[in-house]
Amino acid sequence: MTMKNVIRVDDVVKTYPVAAGEFVAVDHVSLEIPEGDFVAIVGRSGSGKTTLLNMLAGIDRPTSGTIHAAGAELGSLSESGLAAWRGDNVGLVFQFFQLLPTLTVVENVLLAMDFVKKIPVSERNDRAHMLLDRVGIGAQADKLPSTLSGGQQQRAAIARALANDPPLILADEPTGNLDSQTADAVLSLFTELNNEGRTVVVVTHERDIQAITKTQITLQDGRIFASDAMTVVQP
Ligand code: ADP
Ligand code: MG
């Protein structure tokens, strides 16, 4: 039985127009991520990590090359097609949480369900509370995000990412704004999500995350500088 890839990136380039011409942020990157992997994308600031992750999420499009993710060739989808694909398949977590400040924590989770319409309406409220309990902030459900600690806000963002039960979790420096103890607790949530079968890709420049992931991909100047992906992908 061959392992199924949840992500395949073929010869992807991303350039940005700058005063001097074109800046190459991602430079001919190819990689495969099998279902169930737990991947850290590491590298210095400016190495192209966010640019690559945003393309995996269909937030940004490659200048050239193709990306297959969660059963779709992303380049073939329209903007609304990408939004629908993302809603069904991807849970996103950001460094600065990006919760809607005027909604309560539970409303933030419910909004993600309303937007995607995958979870039956009658189940949404119970599911939102179950997810908040699961990430350890059930008691904060009716509070506004600004009244929560950074770690609690990131837990809320993880609950929101899980709202529609996505097979793929993509996170961009999810612990970058947290103290180390809080960061460890958040990282163990990602480990749990991976243990239950979700594919998890975490962008980070932190060493501690590399200890718990299965695969590391190191970017340098937009290129894959090192990867142990091939060594861990065994039938
Ligand atoms: P990382 O997440 O590893 O810090 P990024 O993917 O954010 O790196 O950025 C990679 C490179 O691309 C950086 O040099 C950055 O300045 C440049 N870059 C990112 N976004 C843009 C943009 N919109 N326009 C021009 N350059 C950009
Ligand atoms: Mg970044």
* Probe target for ligand 1 pocket from 16, 60, 63, with the most ligand atoms within 8 Å of CB: 16
Give me the pLDDT at residue 3, please. Answer: 62
Question: Is 206 within the bounds of a domain?
Answer: yes
Burial class of 77 by CB neighbour count within 10 A (0 to 12, 13 to 18, 19+): middle
| Average pLDDT for the chain | 93
Range 191-214 average pLDDT: 89
Q: Whose CA is nearest to atom 27 of ligand 1?
A: 16
Is residue 86 predicted with pLDDT exceeding 50?
A: yes
Q: At what angle do helices 150-161 and 105-116 cross, to 10 degrees?
A: 20
* Probe target for ligand 1 pocket from 12, 18, 50, with the most ligand atoms within 8 Å of CB: 50
Range 207-213 average pLDDT: 81
Pocket of ligand 1 (CB under 6 A): 16, 18, 23, 25, 43, 45-51
Range 187-210 average pLDDT: 90
Give me the pLDDT at residue 1, please. Answer: 41
- Distance (Å, whole) CA 39 – CA 194: 10
Give the residue among 87, 70, 98 at the shortest CA–CA distance from 158.
98
Planar angle of CA 71, 77, 83, nearest 5 degrees: 85
Range 125-146 average pLDDT: 97
Q: Whose CA is nearest to atom 14 of ligand 1?
A: 46
Range 130-157 average pLDDT: 97
Following DSSP, what letter does each residue of 97-114 receive, concatenated? ----TTS-HHHHHHHHHH
Question: Is 235 within the bounds of a domain?
Answer: no
Length of the chain, in residues: 235
**208 confidence band (pLDDT: 50, 70, 90):** confident
Question: Is 1 within the bounds of a domain?
Answer: no
Question: Is 234 within the bounds of a domain?
Answer: no
119: DSSP letter: S
- Distance (Å, whole) CA 135 – CA 171: 16
- Distance (Å, whole) CA 83 – CA 101: 22
Of all helices (H) and strands (E), which one includes residue 197? none
Specify the CATH number for the domain of residue 139: 3.40.50.300
Ligand 2 centre to CA of 148 (Å) is 24
Q: Which phi and psi (to 5°) does residue 206 adopt?
A: -95, 140
Ligand 1 centre to CA of 10 (Å) is 20
* Number of domain units in the chain: 1
Question: Is 22 within the bounds of a domain?
Answer: yes
Question: Is 134 within the bounds of a domain?
Answer: yes
Range 183-190 average pLDDT: 91
Cβ atoms of 163 and 193 closer than 8 Å: no
- Distance (Å, whole) CA 53 – CA 145: 25
The structure's pTM equals 0.93
Residue-range definition of the domain harbouring residue 213: 7-227
**Which ligand approaches the C-alpha of residue 51 most closely?**
1
**229 confidence band (pLDDT: 50, 70, 90):** low
Is residue 35 predicted with pLDDT exceeding 70?
A: yes
Give me the pLDDT at residue 181, please. Answer: 87
Give me the sign of the Cα torsion angle 133, 137, 145, 199.
negative
Of all helices (H) and strands (E), which one includes residue 54? helix 49-56
Ligand 1 centre to CA of 63 (Å) is 14
Cβ atoms of 223 and 27 closer than 8 Å: yes
Give me the pLDDT at residue 167, please. Answer: 97
219: DSSP letter: E
Higher per-residue confidence, 209 vs 48: 48
Question: Is 12 within the bounds of a domain?
Answer: yes
Give me the pLDDT at residue 234, please. Answer: 37
Is residue 161 predicted with pLDDT exceeding 70?
A: yes
Is residue 163 predicted with pLDDT exceeding 80?
A: yes
Give me the pLDDT at residue 235, please. Answer: 37
Is residue 232 predicted with pLDDT exceeding 60?
A: no
